[in-house]
A = this chain, B = another copy of it.
Amino acid sequence: MKICAYAAKTFKGELAKWSYDGKIGPYDVLIDIQYCGISRGDVLFIDNRWGDTHYPLVPGYEIFGTIKDKGIKVKDLEIGEYVGAGYQISSCMECQYCKKGKEQFCKKQKVLLVSGYGGASDVIIVDNRFVYKISEKLRKPEYVPLMCSGLTPYSAIKKVGIHEGMKVGLVGIGNLGHLALQILVAFGAEVTVFSHDQTKKEALLKLGAHKFVSSTDLEVLQEHEGNFDAIFSTSSGTLDWELYMRMLTLEGTICFIGLPPDNISFPATVLSDYAQRTIQGSYIGSRSEMKDLLKLAEVKDIKATIELFPMEKINDVIDKVRNNQIIFSTVVENK
């Protein structure tokens, strides 16, 4: 089957129409793509930030659409069903991680962009075990970013163990961050957001932030020393991590959801001096967490604040993301 996509053929290259051959395996479904999220991760792949990009590169790893065809072993999904797919598209189902329902750590996993072509395309073929039914309420482009930009903070927030009444700081509030904020609020946390961008203040307070703090005002930042049970960073910049670590209570946790480009560096005393602090990493989430998040999103109406564009405008969208002209999230649509 010929699949028509938009691909970058070279380093930082413009996307152009391109097609590849696809074959539906016994466990696969063919999704007719309606919506596809485009975010910073796509730009980083086009720009070969991790050094492992293979061109042609088809971006897009947050997908909503309708099942158009399926393999013979697919039992739980029917043709015509409305579904979502995210970054991870398969795992071995046999290793220790898969067996305990943490298939995001499977060493044989496949993920879009690294080992598959993404969702900037007419259709996509994905292992049905990584495809999620989308309820009627959520079949709107605002919910598309949940598939990865929502799942990643969700899993991190679960791992840190956020619960009712905890004081939480959130640093770097874009696509991942504004979803993290809503998830934290849904879990009952009191969230203070740190941003250098005052223009986001009103929107963030509306999304449930308890307090907005300007991250450029060092004096104000220092007032928060020892204040937070947890801090989540979705920033992809390099910040003064020691400063943020000192904002934690003595048993607090800082969790990196975004990946800063430079080394994370801090004096060991921040961890241990009269304290027992924790630094936590996180990586996407499991299938069961994806399902839990979709349920939570339905109940608490967690959704992205998006800008929607037609798929044909994808190069404009990529440029906007690259140049930080998107406030929160962006989604492209096949019409």
Contact = CB atoms under 8 A, between A and B. Distances in A.
A273 interface: yes
A97 B250 contact: yes
Nearest to A233: B268
Given A256-B268, A264-B265, A283 B276 contact: yes
Contacts of A274: 104-105, 107, 109, 283
Interface string A48-68: 000000000000000000000
A280 B276 contact: yes
Nearest to A249: B105
A260 interface: yes
Contacts of A282: 271-272, 276
Contacts of A270: 281
B276 A259 contact: no
A185 B278 CA distance: 24
Given A256-B268, A268-B256, A268-B264, A283 B279 contact: no
B276 A105 contact: yes
A266 B268 contact: no
A83 to B, nearest CB: 25
A324 interface: no
A269 B275 CA distance: 25
A325 interface: no
Which of A104, A257, A271, A282 has the most chain B CB atoms inside 10 A of its CB? A271
A237 B79 CA distance: 61
Contacts of A259: 268-269, 272-273
B281 A272 contact: yes
Nearest to A251: B105
B268 A265 contact: no
B278 A278 contact: yes
A101 B272 CA distance: 18
Interface string A246-268: 00001100001101100111111
A276 B253 CA distance: 13
User: Which 7 pairs of residues, A with B, have the shortest CB-CB distance?
Assistant: A271-B281, A272-B281, A279-B279, A265-B265, A105-B250, A259-B268, A263-B265
22 contacts: A104-B274, A105-B274, A105-B276, A107-B274, A109-B274, A156-B276, A159-B276, A256-B268, A263-B265, A263-B268, A264-B265, A264-B268, A265-B265, A271-B279, A271-B280, A271-B281, A271-B282, A272-B282, A273-B283, A275-B283, A276-B281, A278-B281
Interface of A: 97, 102, 104-105, 107, 109, 155-156, 159, 250-251, 256-257, 259-260, 263-283
